[in-house]
Chains A and B, each alone.
Chain A
Amino acid sequence: MRFDFSTCRQTIKALKTNKMRSFLTSLGIVIGISSVIIIMSGGAGAQSLITNQIQGIGGDLLGILPGASDDEGPPAAVMGINITTLVYDDVKAIDDRVEEVVAASAYVRGIAVASWQNKTKDTSFLGTTANYMEVEGGAELSSGNFFSVDTKEERVAVLGSLVADELFGNVNPIGERVKINKESFRVVGVMKERGLVGFQNQDDQIFIPLFTAQKIMLGINYLSFARAKVAEGSDVEYVIDQVSNVLRDRHGIADPSQDDFSVRSSEETLNTLADITDALNYFLGAVAAISLLVGGIGIMNIMLVSVNESTREIGLRKAVGARRIDISLHFLIQTIILTTLGGLIGIISGVSISFLISVVAIALGYDWEFIIPISSIVLSISFTLVVALTFGWYPAQKAAKLDPIDALRYE
């Protein structure tokens, strides 16, 4: 048969006269297709984020958090509850007693208002131990030195690159005195730009000695968390056990279920993250599948209505020589147009939502990339066609099988 443009025109006319009906009909397809795009774009973004994170940490780190944690949920400390059980001496003991731990660093964190001359910046300070650089593989200095003594309450600071930029601009900060929460610190070093690691912007913070932070800034003697760098080639699970044993020994805990701390490897943490994105993907995948199914049924329903409404027209077309294949193509084309419109709207909204997600993620400081995999577009278009053909088939066959006489007599 000749390609019948009037089919397209009629379909579009029918769509226009029934805007609401058409919209509701293709809503399922719209949701389904945009879910497909969001899943694949979000998946690619999350993948890049996780890969960047793993590279940023630089090898296997153990994270030691105060407070118990069941294997599933996040440790209490993450939820902002202060637990005072983890102290500097614990970390020292881990460093000394566990052979496979190369170095263990301790951390406290606080909010900082930093100022130099007339410039002020809201940031945070990280009180940490002198071996910070050794533990955190990805951290590097761009100038000056990191502080070298743990036990003194020295007022020295190493600036994150962003803080240095914003306060000092082109001026060399080394040797200058900055005010952090009214206390005066001498700048001894500036860090290289590092970006986001462990979901914290490493460039937007000031590093000060642990004891200074604990005693002078916060008035506490416990830690927010600690990290231990595991010697290359060692069994991470075994090291976790060793670290746990040291802590149990120091805290007088006999029964592991009574642990007041939790130890996790960075890999494990990232795996948890990957699991969460996976779960999200399965959820969106289910949404996509259900929407496409419901959308397909909606399309089939509307096409059956359309076949019914055009019974006389089908009879006429047959009377002037249309073959079965012509009639079924006529309705398949209608289905494809209707579904494709839904699919296109779905692609547009999927891409827009993915873009919004990336904008929000970047605004929150994540190292997120806005990626629309070509495969997601290809997959969407194929899904659309599959839905159109699957659910358009039956109505088209029904139309093609109509007896011309019955159709012409139909009132």
Chain B
Amino acid sequence: MIELKNVYKEFVNGEVVTKVLQGINLQIGRGEFLAIMGPSGSGKSTLMHILGFLDNISTGQYYFDNKNVSSLDDDILADYRNKKVGFVFQSFNLLPKTSVWENVRLPLLYNRGKTDLSYVDKAIKSVGLEHRKNYLSNQLSGGEKQRVAIARALVNNPDIIFADEPTGNLDSKSGIQIMSILHELSKMGKTIVVVTHESTTAKYAKRIVQIRDGEIVSDEVNKDVISTETLKGQLK
């Protein structure tokens, strides 16, 4: 459902031109669980922002469900961000001093179709936070915050979830919890793209794309993908 063809991205700040992505070719199919790996500064986040309609490309083509994304206007892109994709950020990005419920509800505010508020509770339940529903965002632990972020990403029932270093700010126990939630979602058929520079995080993915200096250097099936059993064992 995603196809990048020879995508280049550069940032221009006055005289300074930073070339970040240099000829990316990538296809992501429905239901895949993909990890994008690479050292810091290699362009992972930039790539994910492009995939998630938050940033535009400099040259090349990006097709989403066979539509050329560059040809879509601002409001349609906003709608895509709202319904087609869900984001999870390293730094959580919850609304400060706002309840869990309201944080999860946020995307529904911008959903122009019919919305059913029961999705909010469903999403909160799916990350196991029913008992924290009325807590304020600043009363939560890091792991709980990230689970709220996942619930928020799920609430509009998107096709694909982008997670940019979702475990980067978490202890290993919470990190495992987050990854197992993504693992569950993947089993339920959601397309998941995780950006990470940690191999412990990447091992949950079925496919691993390595990126260096804005170029894909390898793109392989993960033979050592963690089994559901091992995962359950880790969670204990």
Contact = CB atoms under 8 A, between A and B. Distances in A.
A312 B110 contact: no
Contact of B95 (A2, A313, A319): A313
B55 A405 contact: yes
Contacts, number: 65
B191 interface: no
Nearest to B105: A6
B33 interface: no
A4 B95 CA distance: 14
A365 to B, nearest CB: 57
Contacts of B111: 321
Given A1-B110, A13-B97, A320 B152 contact: yes
A10 B78 contact: no
B86 to A, nearest CB: 8
A408 B89 contact: yes
B98 interface: yes
A320 B55 contact: no
B112 interface: yes
B107 A408 contact: no
A13 B89 CA distance: 26
B110 A326 contact: yes
B74 A320 contact: no
B18 to A, nearest CB: 13
A237 B109 CA distance: 74
Contact of B82 (A6, A312, A313, A320): A320
A316 B78 contact: no
Report the interface size class on chain B.
Answer: 20 to 34
A317 B82 CA distance: 10
A320 B112 contact: no
A342 B96 CA distance: 26
Contacts of A315: 93
B204 interface: no
Chain B CB within 10 A, most for which of A315, A316, A320: A320
Contacts of A6: 95, 98, 102, 109
B75 A319 contact: no
Nearest to B155: A320
B98 A324 contact: no
Contact of B74 (A313, A319, A324, A408): A324
B78 A4 contact: no
Interface in B80-114: 81-83, 87, 89, 93, 95-98, 102, 106-112
Interface string B210-232: 00000000000000000000000
Contacts of B52: 319
A42 interface: no
B93 A4 contact: no
A321 B89 CA distance: 15
B79 interface: yes
Given A319-B87, A408-B93, 5 more contacts: A1-B110, A6-B95, A320-B81, A321-B111, A405-B54
